[in-house]
Copies of this chain bind each other. A is one copy, B any other.
Amino acid sequence: MNALILAAGDGTRIKSVVPKILLPLCGVPLIQRTILTLKDAGITDMIVIVGFKKDVVKNYLEDGSKYGVKISYATNGDYERENATSILKAEKMVDEKFLLVMGDHIFTPNIIKCILSVKGDLVIATDSNPRYIDVGEATKIFIDADEIKDIGKDLTEFNAVDTGIFLCSKQIFPVITQCLKDGKEEWSDSIKKYIENHKVVSYDVSASFWLDVDTEEDLKKAETLLLGSLTKPGDGYISRNLNRKISTKISKHLVKTGITPNQLTLISFMIALISATSFSFGGYIYVAVGGVSAQLASILDGCDGEIARLKFLQTSYGSWLDACLDRYADFLIILGMTYGYWIIHKEVLIWLIGFICLAGTFMIAYAPTRYKEAFNENWRTRSKRIPIGRDVRLFIIFLGGISNQILYSLILLAILANLEALMRLIHHRKDSKN
């Protein structure tokens, strides 16, 4: 199945020298987002309808191979007319069934995967509870029992809006041709006509994120929403309430640069190295700098993943490298703290505590990933757990550093991490999948 992307319009409501669909959102032009989102959903064959400044668009996207997809083009010289004229240009190029999406809409791969699973010759992804768009401007839809009964911008009775994502069959083209003859050039006019003789299915995606970018305000809103979506379900308390708030602000600027996620992983590791070195000198100022830079490394540790997700740069290697370097960073910081305390106090006990702390820290990371390997399913936490993820650990180290209480922060870490590790071994003993 191929996908048809409408990108011919002149986007007059945004003032810009480049076509609207080439405006960057979190570092990635709108149409490139559409293409990469479709690719994430498994669609790799695409037709882009160009019109306004078509050569600029074609020069930017080329044949799609740099995105790992195949892009063909059709041109709509009448791009100032409504969008049904664009769709018709692709009549000979689309497959028997094809996806139709708008080049200036933001949506998740999940919406595409879902609509592909719905049966019907015309399926429209609808939103019964639109949160992020101006409903007044939207194409309204009246649905009765999953079937679309009416559609139009001026509908007074409606219970959803269209999201600009459609699963079509070639049966639609004769209807479009007829509508254009009748002077009805909106895509929704063709759907309205099609409804008269065919069943049109609605698929509600109100739980998913999508957005229609028409104005500069929309673009800003989209940026805010994308940045806000970066908090992960597994984020710990400090991450959710402190680190993410700062890291997303940093990422907002970093997306505009060419810095890669793996480079950020290395930078975060370097800062951890600075923290470890500073701690190892032992004096109060050094220890305070060590604590602050540990927390800084913790914050920056979020940015690599954020940039990767915002710019479609997530790789398996990146996530693995990040995890492995996090372990080494933890090790170095604990070693630095231990050594720094030792050279001041010369108490051998600190080495013992440092050792135990290091073991617990590793086990907190090792146990869940090894669990996934053994059980072939995600780590579930049955019990109330001690929240001792990396965000919390580095925050304890930060507090220990600025308050010059290295001994107590290491003892606290050693106890909490090992206690949690031990509790996990006991609590999961009934997970008996063979």
Interface residues of A (CB under 8 A from B): 314-317, 319-321, 323-325, 327-328, 331, 335, 338-339, 342, 348, 351-352, 354-356, 358-359, 362-363, 365-367, 369-376, 421, 425, 428-434
Contact = CB atoms under 8 A, between A and B. Distances in A.
A335 B359 CA distance: 10
Given A355-B331, A362-B362, A428 B369 contact: no
Contact of A433 (B315, B369, B375, B431): B315
B324 A363 contact: yes
A319 B369 contact: no
Given A317-B432, A324-B363, A354-B355, 8 more contacts: A315-B434, A316-B375, A316-B433, A321-B425, A324-B425, A335-B356, A351-B351, A373-B373
A355 B338 contact: yes
11 contacts: A317-B429, A317-B430, A317-B431, A317-B432, A317-B433, A320-B367, A320-B428, A324-B366, A327-B366, A328-B363, A365-B366
A177 to B, nearest CB: 40
The binding surface of chain A is classed by DSSP as helix
A430 B315 CA distance: 11
B374 A319 contact: yes
Max count, chain B CB within 10 A of own CB: residue among A356, A370, A372, A425: A370
Nearest to A334: B355
Contacts of A356: 335
Contacts of A327: 359, 362-363, 366
A247 B3 CA distance: 60
Contacts of A335: 352, 355-356, 359
Given A338-B355, A370-B324, A434 B375 contact: no
A317 B362 contact: no
Given A342-B348, A362-B366, A434 B314 contact: yes
B317 A374 contact: yes
A317 B348 contact: no
A319 B355 CA distance: 25
Given A327-B362, A328-B363, A369-B366, A374 B434 contact: no
A366 B366 contact: yes
Contacts of A434: 314-316
Contacts of A370: 320, 323-324, 369
B328 A374 contact: no
Contacts of A354: 351, 355
B371 A352 contact: no
Contacts of A316: 374-376, 431-434
Nearest to A320: B374
Contacts of A428: 317, 320
A433 B354 CA distance: 37
A409 B328 CA distance: 22
A234 to B, nearest CB: 13
A352 B276 CA distance: 13
Contact of A367 (B324, B359, B425): B324
Contacts of A432: 315-317
A331 B317 contact: no
A321 B359 CA distance: 16
